[in-house]
Amino acid sequence: MERKRIEVIASEESYRNLSTFKEVKELNKTVRAYRDNIRMSIKRPDVQSKLIALLEILKRHSCKYVGVSFLCKNRIAAKMEVSYKTVQRLMKQLADLGLVKQVAMKRTKDMLQTSNAIIQPIVEEVSDKVDTKSLTKCPTIKTPPVSLKQNIKDINKRNSNENSNTPEENIEQADFIAHWVPERFVSLVSSFYSESKTIQ
């Protein structure tokens, strides 16, 4: 994997161009929203607290050029009392969540690389849905009212095709096989014998 060439040189002009906020109030409001976002999206409480601490450090060090923090990762690691690698992982996680953007730059003095974290403003999602309330209402097709009354003439009479046997007769006609007879045995023997008494 090839590295991209770094063409941005760290200067006041480039920091002003990278600044994403006009006032510190906007930055504070965004960071508060991002804290809630982290609490909702990250499940592990130890990672949550470290991400929030990192975001707070970046916020405190991005007031000169609002939203742009040029604090190096070694200093961030010393402030958070964690290793450099942990800070790298946390910064990558913030970048994956879309809260921070990392921009590689070169210093003007020695032309060595420096990394800058830029806190991204909240992107308000615009939906493509059309407001249904503003649309004109279509006239509904009127249907004639239907009577909900029933014909009550024959409600007390039973249907003639229902079985008119009494419960005692139904039990005598039933053909049951005892529960202790295995089902597999019953399925094999039922082809030879039809009555349940012989199967049992």
- In CATH, which of 1.10.10.10, 3.40.640.10, 3.40.50.720, 3.40.50.1000 is domain 12-119? 1.10.10.10
Task: Give tens-digit pLDDT for 71-121.
Answer: 888 898 999 999 999 998 998 988 888 888 887 777 777 776 667 777 878
Query: Is 38 exposed, middle or buried, given 0-12, 13-18 or 19+ CB atoms closer than 10 A?
Result: buried
DSSP string, 136-167: PPPPPPP-PPPP-----TTTTSPPTTS----H
Catalogue the E-assigned strands of the chain.
Answer: 68-69, 100-106, 113-119
Would you say the pTM of this structure is higher than 0.75? no
User: What pLDDT score was predicted for residue 196?
Assistant: 59
User: When comparing pLDDT for 7 and 67, which is higher?
Assistant: 67
Nearest alpha carbon to residue 69 among 5, 19, 108:
19
User: When comparing pLDDT for 178 and 97, which is higher?
Assistant: 97
Task: Give tens-digit pLDDT for 28-65.
Answer: 888 888 888 888 888 888 888 999 999 899 888 888 87
Provide CATH 1.10.10.10 ranges for the chain: 12-119
Q: State whether residue 7 is helix, strand or coil.
A: coil
Cα(78)–Cα(72) distance, integer angstroms? 10
Task: Give tens-digit pLDDT for 132-170.
Answer: 555 556 666 666 666 656 555 555 555 555 555 566 665
User: What pLDDT score was predicted for residue 98?
Assistant: 86
